[in-house]
Amino acid sequence: MGRAGGRTRPRQSERARAKGPSQRGPVVPDTSPSRYIVKVDRATGAELPDEIEPGELLVHAHRDHHPVEIAAQYLASRLIEVTGNEALVKRGLRAVDRLGGRLARTAAEISGDPADERRVKQLLGVSARDFAFRFRETSHLTEKEVKARIRSLQKDARSRLAALGRRPRLRILLTGATGFLGKEILVQAASHPHVDEVVAVVRPETIRDRRTKRVLGVLSPRQRGARLLKRVGIRGKDARKFRFVKGDIEQPGFAISSTELTRLKRSLTHVVHCAASVSFDDTYESSFRANVLGCRNALAFSAAIQAARGSRFVAHVAIETSYIHGRRKRSIAQEDALVFPRHFYNNYYELTKAMASIETDRALVQDGLRVTQLLPSIVIGHSRTGNNRGDTKVVNAPINAFGRAKEAMDSLGEEWQDRARGWLVGLIATTFPADRSAELNLVPVDRVAAGILASLVSPEAIGVRIHLATDNRIRSEEVVRITREELGVNVRMADPTLTRNLTLPVVKAVLESMGEARLANVLEKLGTIFGVYGEWGQPIHDVGNDVRILGLPIRRPDTGAAFRMLCRHNRYVQAYGQVRDPDEIARREHLWEEAIDEVEFESGRQVPSMRAAEFRQLMADRIELRSFRAR
Ligand SMILES: NC(=O)c1ccc[n+]([C@@H]2O[C@H](COP(=O)([O-])OP(=O)(O)OC[C@H]3O[C@@H](n4cnc5c(N)ncnc54)[C@H](OP(=O)(O)O)[C@@H]3O)[C@@H](O)[C@H]2O)c1
C-alpha cells in the first residue's frame, strides 16, 4: 500500500545482506506459525505434525478453487441482497455443503471405494478440509488460576499508581510516534495534565528524491522529532515534555543506548507499544519482523523495566487491532476471547497482529508483566474534521483512488486510445467490490488516542482486551452513498466474488496488453486488498470495555458523520493523496480546522449535517480551495 513521502527504508534482511557477513545483526528469528497455531484433525481434534505454511492461514488459500463454490458465493451475495438476512443464507450454505458431503459418502458406499468420497466432494466443490487450525494455549493454568493472577497484577498496578500520588506524573515510552495514531497520541499527551514526559523511540529517516530515488539526506530521530512537534502544533512548554531517542523495534531492547536505558529504568511509568507495519500486502516475513518480533522486543523491554530496582513502572500498553479476530462470518468477536477464525485471516497483517496478541497473553500470564491490550478497529481521521496528518492508508486508499479516477475521467484526451484506457481505468477504479449489507467498523483517531491515554490510569484494564471500536457500524451502501455525495463520483457496487474472479483478471489482461502493467497491478491490488472488507458476513466486534473500564463516553462518534468528514478532508485538504509534503499537510489541516470552527460557530450547526454543496460554499468563502490559502 502506498505511503506518503518520498522515503524508503531497506528491510532488515536487505540491511543484513548489505552489511556483509562479519557485521551481520542478530540471528534470523524462527518465524514459523507453529509457535502460535496448531493444525488439528477435524474429526478427532488430534494435533497433526504437519509444518504450517503461513499462506494456508489466509482466506485466499481456501476459496475460489472450484466453479461451483464461486457460483455458490455469488448466489449467496444475491440472496442476501434480496432477503437481507445473512444468518439465513449462511445456514443455507452450510446445509448445501452438508448435503454435498452426504452425497459423496453415499457415492463412496455404493462404489465401495472410500477414496470416492473425496473425489465426489472435489467434483461438487464441497469444502473437503479434514483439518482445522486452533491457537495454542498460552498457559497450562486453569481459568481460575489465570483470573487470580490477573487480579494480583491489577492490584500491583493499583498500588504502583497510588504510590505516584493523587496527581500522578506519568513518564511514557512510546513507539510509533511518527505514525498516524502516534501523532494523535502526542497531541493529546501534550495537553494531558498527568503526562509529564514522553520518550519516543524513533528510527532515522532516509529522505530520497521522489522521482530519482537519490538519497537527499538522513534525518536523525531528534530532527524527526523536532519537525514532528512543529507540524502537529506542539510548542513552548508543552514541547519540553517530549524526547526523541534512536531505536528500532525489530532489535532487542530497541537497540537503545545503555546510558538511556539506565535513565529509563528509573523513570518510566508506562510503555505504549504502537509501532507496527500496517500494510495489507506485505510479505509474511516482513509483517512478522515488525509485528511479532517488534512486539516480543517491546514486551521484553517492559519486563526488564518492571523488574529493575527502584522501578516506578506501572504497565505496558499493547496496541493491537480488533481484526486479530480475522474472518468469522457475522459472528460476534468478543473482547476477551481470541479464537482462530473459522474463515481464516484476510492478510498477514491481521495474522501477525494475532500472533503478537498471543505473545502478549504469554507475557502477562507466564512472566507476570502488567499489560493492557487495546484493539482499535479501522482507524480514520479526526471525528470532527477528518484531519489525519497525511495518512493515506486503509480506507483512505480506495477513497483517494475514487477521487483520482474521477479527475482522470474528467480530463480524458482526444485520442481514442487515451479515451479507451481512461474509460477502462475509470470503470474499474470507481468500482467498490462490496456486498450491500457488509458493515465496516470505523473509529476516529481521537477516540483511539483518548482510549490509550485513559488506559494509563486504569489498573482494571490490565489483563483485559479492550476493543476501541464502534457500535454504529457503517454499511457499504452508505459508504457508497456518502462517497457519491461528497466526491461527486459515480461509485458503483460490484459483487466481490465476480470482481475477484472475473472483472479484475480481465481488466488486468487488457491493461497489460495496452502496455500498462503497472497500472494493472495497482488496480488489482486495490480490488483484492480492500475487497475482502466489503464482503458480507464481516465480524461484529463487541464493545463495552472502552466505556466500562476506560471510562470513555458511551456515545461513540457518529460513524456516518466521521466518514463524511474523511471524504471532505481527502478531497480538499489531501487532494486525494496528491498533497504529500507533511509541512503543507500540516498548514492545510490547521486552516481547515479553523474554518470548520468558524462555520460551526456562525451557523450554529455541526458541519457533517450540511449538504456537500453548502459545506463547500461555506468553506470556499473562507479558503481559496485550489491554493488552499485563507481568503
Ligand atoms: N491505522 C489503522 O487503521 C489501525 C487499525 C487498528 C490498529 N492499528 C494499530 O495501531 C498502531 C499504529 O498504526 P498506525 O496507523 O499509526 O501505523 P503507521 O501510520 O503505519 O505508523 C507506524 C509507526 O510504526 C513505526 N515503526 C514501524 N517499524 C518500526 C521499527 N522497526 N522501528 C521503529 N519504529 C517503527 C513507524 O515509524 P517510521 O515513521 O520510521 O516508519 C511509524 O511511526 C499499530 O500497532 C496498528 O496495528 C492501526
* Per-residue pLDDT band at 7 (split at 50, 70, 90): very low
Determine how many CB atoms are found less than 10 A away from the CB of residue 289: 22
For 129-142, b/e burial (b = at least 16 CB within 10 A) is eeeebebeebeeee
Residue 57 CA to ligand 1 center (angstroms) comes to: 23
- Only one residue has cell 481559496, namely 624
CA 465 to CA 273: how far, in whole Å? 15
Stronger pLDDT, 393 or 91, i.e. the higher one: 393
Q: What is the pLDDT of residues 322-360, one digit of tens each?
A: 999 998 776 788 998 899 998 899 999 999 999 999 999
What are the CB-based long-range contacts (under 8 Å, 24+) for 42-50?
Answer: 42/129, 42/130, 42/131, 42/132, 43/130, 48/131, 50/131
Q: Which three cell numbers stand for residue 585?
A: 499537510
Q: Which three cell numbers stand for residue 138?
A: 498460552
Please give the pLDDT value at position 20: 37
Residues 6 or more apart whose CB falls under 8 angstroms from that of 120 comprise: 103, 104, 107, 108
Q: What is the pLDDT of residues 62-82, one digit of tens each?
A: 888 778 778 888 888 888 888
CA 433 to CA 528: how far, in whole Å? 9
Please give the pLDDT value at position 347: 95
pTM of the model: 0.91
pLDDT for 105 beyond 90: no
Please give the pLDDT value at position 109: 85
Residue 266 CA to ligand 1 center (angstroms) comes to: 27
Write the residue with the smallest CA distance to atom 13 of ligand 1.
Answer: 181
How would you class 455 by CB atoms within 10 Å of its CB: exposed for 0-12, middle for 13-18, buried for 19 or more?
A: buried
Write the residue with the smallest CA distance to atom 17 of ligand 1.
Answer: 179
Which atom of ligand 1 approaches the CA of 319 most closely? 45
Residue 374 CA to ligand 1 center (angstroms) comes to: 14
Q: What is the pLDDT of residues 503-514, one digit of tens each?
A: 888 888 888 887
Percent of the chain with pLDDT over 70: 94
Please give the pLDDT value at position 379: 98
37 φ/ψ angles, rounded to the nearest 5 degrees: -130, 140
pLDDT for 9 beyond 60: no
CA 302 to CA 408: how far, in whole Å? 50
CA 398 to CA 434: how far, in whole Å? 12
Q: What is the mean pLDDT of residues 518-526?
A: 78
Domains of the chain: 170-381+442-468 (3.40.50.720), 396-441+473-630 (no CATH)
Please give the pLDDT value at position 550: 98
**Cβ 271 vs Cβ 299: under 8 Å:** no
Integer angstrom CA distances of residue 193 from 79, 144, 159, 189, 453: 54, 38, 20, 8, 11
Residues within 6 Å of ligand 1 by CB:
175-176, 178-182, 203, 248-250, 274-278, 290, 319, 321, 353, 376, 378-379, 393-394
* Per-residue pLDDT band at 127 (split at 50, 70, 90): low
Q: What DSSP state is assigned to residue 432? A: E
Mean pLDDT of the chain: 90
pLDDT for 198 beyond 50: yes
Which atom of ligand 1 approaches the CA of 250 most closely? 31
356 φ/ψ angles, rounded to the nearest 5 degrees: -65, -35
Instruction: Choose among 70, 61, 127: nearest CA to 502.
Output: 70
